[in-house]
């Protein structure tokens, strides 16, 4: 849905965001508050209210450096609220002189208003049921009671789908239902329209004749209006004096047109055509036929009107029963209209005839058009006689009284609705803006939740697709860019992953969350200087964060200082015993030195997080090194169940199968790995070796040529390609490749000499380095 950018909608969106964030803060749901505060701040980075709320949530989450970075703008761009939050951040950081300066700035601001109390909100003594379920799920997750955590989180989301922490808990468990199930789609907001009385619902079937000659439109041609809301209060067309169009619906306009036509138009223009459909039994008055006439005030009560009707019988112009009936009806209508003249809140003379006739519309519809006109003429003459016999001073037919009251279409049966005033229009617009703001927040949360769910289930392609659907201002936020970086990292696309994390560091230079992944990425890219700089920044920002010590440990690991790296990883575990990533990195650090200790570290990681596929992968590597191939295959497949789109895990399973002698199944797994990640060099290289063993040389050449183009300095690939060309009988091509391999890696000169002197039939089963 396209949202308005009107000031009223933006104001409603601002209020809804502030109410939601404060509710989360008051309930100690700080991560939920930070999520929505970041969304609010991304919408308008120049909004100081959004800035204050985002900084407040970061401060509550123990990130004073990030909060201070937000509000520590130059003095000309800092308000009193910014100075107040700066004071709080400096107090937490122990910078007391800066805190005092910030307080002085707040006191010197003439329009200072406390940022933490600027929004009015209700204080709740006890949290509601949804928040308590969310807390119960969080405690169960931290206590490793995963079977109990899931139902608590789902119950919390069922009661309140905006509890982001409950959704994050489900993602940590890995049992995330479909987004449509957790967050069902909501109907689009519809703006309220002026109400229409139920008595006039017939107007959408039978047209109503008006003085201007317009007709109520059929429901099938209602344009973009909501039909259900429109005909809750059906009204005839009117000529809108503000716009000059004939296609607007509003109260108290039909009778204004009738008045103007009676003064200026010819009488015949007011009569419906004889061959037209019968109108809603609207009798034409004497003014309709002969113009304005003099009139007298009528009696004040219905009883007096009835007595006068009896005295008017001799003056009637029609003697038959039909004329008597017409006169009696008009007399009754006249008495009701007189009462309305003295009590303007009740229906008046003209509308009384309209609705009294519409109550008998079935009778009038059965008669011919000429008889209807004669009957109407008889009734109007009878009414005029009654007006003549009535006592009291005469007055013009159209006095200076407001015509909207004298001729408002109301009835004796039911009171007419109050007109749709400007205050009603304003209230309807405000309600519509609030509904649109709620829908904006809800749909935005659903999109990010869909991407987060895909990332939790390691469906990186879907995650990136969902992120593409987000508005640009949210795509460039820090948490979303972290998701993009993690997706590329999982896909072993290290270059775009590095660019994504670099953007995160620019947006949030003091961010500590998720930086352990960035440090490992730099370890894979062998960026020693950048990794060292990142570790120092994180350690200076928060020396008690496990992410900082993991970055320091990665820095030592890249320098081949294993003991120092293990010390840093152990420090991270001491700061956060639930940090499975520190256990995993410790296990990988000991793979070449102590397999038993490595197995213990990986098992400790699984006790903290059973869904960590890296721990299962590490155990598979350990058992493969111990030549326990079946146990290694079991752990590799467990890791592949958690991350089914990981080409590296597919290659590991295929490698174990190959070593067990099952080349057909291994080849199928290698092919699946290459289809999943065409740039996976190891899977393509191992597949080429199986092609060589099965004497499918052309397919092997295709894989090896692809690898040589991608990594021209890899001697193993060149050597293997030279071997294949020799097996195919192309001695010249093989000699050229052997010379290139000797230039790239002179240390392999003995292997090259051996290949030259080896008989061709003996080459097929020779084992090469994996490279």
**Domains of the chain, each with CATH number or no CATH:** 7-108 (1.25.40.10), 129-175 (no CATH), 198-406 (no CATH), 451-598 (1.25.40.10), 679-762 (1.25.40.10)
More confident residue, 250 or 107: 107
Asked if 744 contacts 713 with a C-beta cutoff of 8 angstroms, the reply is: yes
Q: Per mean pLDDT, which range of 190-199, 599-608, 629-638 is the poorest?
A: 190-199
Query: CA-to-CA distance for 67 and 102, rounded, in angstroms?
Result: 14
Q: Per mean pLDDT, which range of 279-288, 519-528, 613-622 is the poorest?
A: 279-288
Return the SS3 of 569.
Answer: helix
Tokens representing 20 are 């939601």
CA–CA distances in Å: residue 714 to residues 92, 494, 681: 53, 19, 11
342-400 pLDDT, tens digit each:
444 444 443 333 333 444 444 444 444 444 444 444 444 444 444 444 444 444 444 44
Query: CA-to-CA distance for 717 and 697, rounded, in angstroms?
Result: 14
Phi, psi values for residue 641, rounded to 5°: -65, -40
Tokens representing 739 are 């010379």
Give the closest residue to 380 by CA, choosing from 310, 329, 441, 427: 329
Rounded to two decimals, the pTM is 0.69
The yes-or-no verdict on residue 117 having pLDDT over 80 is no
Query: CA-to-CA distance for 695 and 401, rounded, in angstroms?
Result: 107
- Report, as an integer, the average pLDDT of 532-545: 96
Asked if 257 contacts 237 with a C-beta cutoff of 8 angstroms, the reply is: no
Q: How many CA atoms lie within 13 A of 428 on its CB side?
A: 13
CB atoms within 10 A of CB 246: 11
Q: Per mean pLDDT, which range of 77-81, 144-148, 241-245, 528-532 is the poorest?
A: 241-245
CB atoms within 10 A of CB 729: 10
Return the SS3 of 57.
Answer: helix
Phi, psi values for residue 281, rounded to 5°: 45, 50
Give the closest residue to 452 by CA, choosing from 217, 243, 167: 167
Query: CA-to-CA distance for 573 and 48, rounded, in angstroms?
Result: 39
DSSP 462-475: HHHHHHHTS-HHHH
Query: CA-to-CA distance for 662 and 649, rounded, in angstroms?
Result: 17
295-329 pLDDT, tens digit each:
444 444 444 444 444 444 444 443 444 444 444 44
* Mean predicted lDDT score pLDDT of the chain: 75
Tokens representing 471 are 């508005």
**What is the pLDDT, as a whole number, of residue 426?**
82
Return the SS3 of 148.
Answer: helix
Query: CA-to-CA distance for 747 and 197, rounded, in angstroms?
Result: 96
Asked if 86 contacts 102 with a C-beta cutoff of 8 angstroms, the reply is: yes
**What is the pLDDT, as a whole number, of residue 758?**
64
pLDDT range class, residue 337, cuts 50, 70, 90? very low
First CA to last CA distance, the chain: 53
Query: CA-to-CA distance for 138 and 151, rounded, in angstroms?
Result: 11
Phi, psi values for residue 150, rounded to 5°: -60, -50
CA 606, 608, 609, 615 dihedral sign is negative
The yes-or-no verdict on residue 100 having pLDDT over 90 is yes
The yes-or-no verdict on residue 115 having pLDDT over 60 is no
CA–CA distances in Å: residue 392 to residues 295, 296, 297, 307, 402: 10, 6, 6, 16, 22
More confident residue, 89 or 403: 89
Asked if 660 contacts 629 with a C-beta cutoff of 8 angstroms, the reply is: yes
Give the closest residue to 182 by CA, choosing from 204, 153, 161: 161
pLDDT range class, residue 494, cuts 50, 70, 90? very high
Tokens representing 224 are 């973009």
CB atoms within 10 A of CB 274: 10
DSSP bridge pairs for 296? 394
């Amino acid at each position: 849905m396209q949202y308005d950018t009107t000031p009223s909608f933006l104001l409603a969106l601002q209020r809804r965001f502030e109410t939601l964030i404060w509710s989360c803060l008051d309930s100690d749901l700080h991560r939920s508050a930070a999520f929505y505060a970041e969304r609010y701040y991304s919408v308008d980075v120049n909004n100081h209210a959004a800035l204050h709320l985002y900084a407040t949530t970061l401060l509550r989450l123990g990130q004073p450096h990030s909060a201070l970075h937000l509000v520590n703008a130059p003095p000309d761009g800092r308000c009193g609220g910014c100075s107040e939050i700066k004071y709080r951040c400096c107090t937490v950081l122990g910078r007391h002189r800066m805190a005092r300066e910030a307080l002085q700035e707040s006191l010197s601001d003439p329009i200072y208003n406390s940022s933490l109390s600027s929004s009015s909100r209700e204080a709740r003594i006890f949290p509601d049921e949804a928040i308590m379920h969310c807390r119960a799920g969080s405690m169960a997750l931290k206590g490793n009671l995963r079977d109990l955590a899931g139902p608590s989180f789902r119950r919390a989301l069922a009661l309140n789908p905006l509890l982001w922490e409950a959704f994050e808990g489900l993602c940590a468990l890995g049992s995330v239902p479909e987004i449509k199930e957790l967050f069902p789609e909501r109907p689009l907001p519809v703006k309220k329209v002026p109400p229409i009385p139920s008595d006039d619902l017939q107007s959408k079937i039978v047209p109503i004749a008006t003085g201007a000659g317009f007709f109520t439109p059929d429901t099938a041609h209602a344009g973009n209006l909501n039909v259900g809301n429109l005909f809750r209060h059906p009204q005839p067309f009117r000529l809108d004096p503000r716009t000059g169009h004939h296609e607007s619906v509003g109260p108290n306009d039909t009778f204004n047109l009738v008045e103007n036509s009676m003064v200026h138009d010819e009488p015949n223009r007011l009569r419906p055509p004889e061959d037209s459909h019968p109108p809603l039994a609207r009798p034409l008055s004497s003014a309709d036929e002969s113009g304005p006439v003099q009139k007298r005030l009528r009696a004040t009560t219905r009883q007096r009107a009835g007595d006068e009707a009896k005295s008017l019988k001799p003056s009637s112009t029609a003697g038959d029963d039909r004329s008597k009936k017409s006169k009696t009806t008009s007399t009754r209508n006249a008495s009701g209209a007189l009462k309305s003249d003295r009590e303007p809140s009740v229906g008046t003379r003209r509308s009384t005839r309209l609705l009294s006739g519409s109550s008998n519309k079935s009778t009038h519809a059965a008669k011919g058009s000429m008889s209807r006109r004669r009957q109407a003429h008889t009734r109007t003459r009878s009414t005029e006689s009654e007006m003549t016999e009535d006592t009291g001073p005469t007055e013009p037919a159209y006095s200076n009284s407001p015509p909207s009251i004298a001729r408002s279409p109301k009835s004796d049966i039911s009171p007419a609705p109050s007109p749709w005033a400007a205050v009603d229009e304003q209230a309807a617009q405000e309600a519509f803006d609030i509904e649109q703001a709620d829908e904006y927040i809800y749909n935005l949360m659903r999109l990010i939740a869909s991407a987060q769910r895909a990332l939790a289930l390691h469906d990186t392609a879907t995650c990136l697709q969902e992120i593409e659907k987000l508005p640009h201002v949210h795509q460039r936020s820090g948490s979303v860019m972290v998701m993009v970086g993690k997706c590329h990292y999982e896909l072993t696309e290290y270059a775009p992953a590095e660019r994504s994390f670099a953007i995160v560091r620019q947006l949030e230079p003091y961010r500590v969350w998720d930086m352990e992944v960035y440090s490992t990425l730099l370890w894979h890219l062998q960026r020693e200087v950048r990794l060292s700089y990142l570790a120092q920044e994180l350690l200076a920002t928060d020396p008690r964060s496990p992410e900082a010590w993991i970055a320091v440990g990665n820095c030592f690991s890249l320098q081949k200082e294993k003991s120092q790296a293990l010390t840093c990883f152990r420090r991270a575990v001491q700061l956060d015993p639930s940090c499975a990533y520190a256990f995993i990195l410790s296990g990988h650090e000991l793979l070449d030195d102590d397999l038993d200790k490595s197995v213990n570290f990986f098992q400790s990681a699984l006790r903290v997080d059973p869904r960590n596929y890296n721990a299962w992968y590490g155990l598979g590597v350990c058992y493969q090194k111990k030549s326990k191939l079946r146990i290694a295959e079991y752990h590799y497949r467990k890791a592949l169940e958690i991350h089914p789109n990981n080409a590296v895990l597919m290659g590991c399973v295929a490698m174990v199968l190959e070593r067990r002698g099952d080349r057909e199944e291994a080849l199928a797994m290698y092919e699946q790995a290459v289809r999943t990640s065409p740039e996976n060099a190891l899977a393509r290289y191992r597949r080429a070796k199986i092609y060589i063993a099965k004497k499918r040389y052309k397919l092997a050449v295709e894989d090896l040529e692809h690898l040589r183009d991608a990594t021209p300095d890899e001697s193993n690939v060149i050597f293997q390609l030279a071997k294949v060309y020799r097996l195919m009988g192309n001695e010249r091509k093989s000699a050229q490749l052997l010379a290139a391999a000797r230039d790239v890696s002179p240390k392999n000169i003995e292997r090259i000499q051996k290949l030259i002197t080896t008989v061709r039939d003996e080459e097929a089963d020779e084992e090469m380095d994996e490279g």
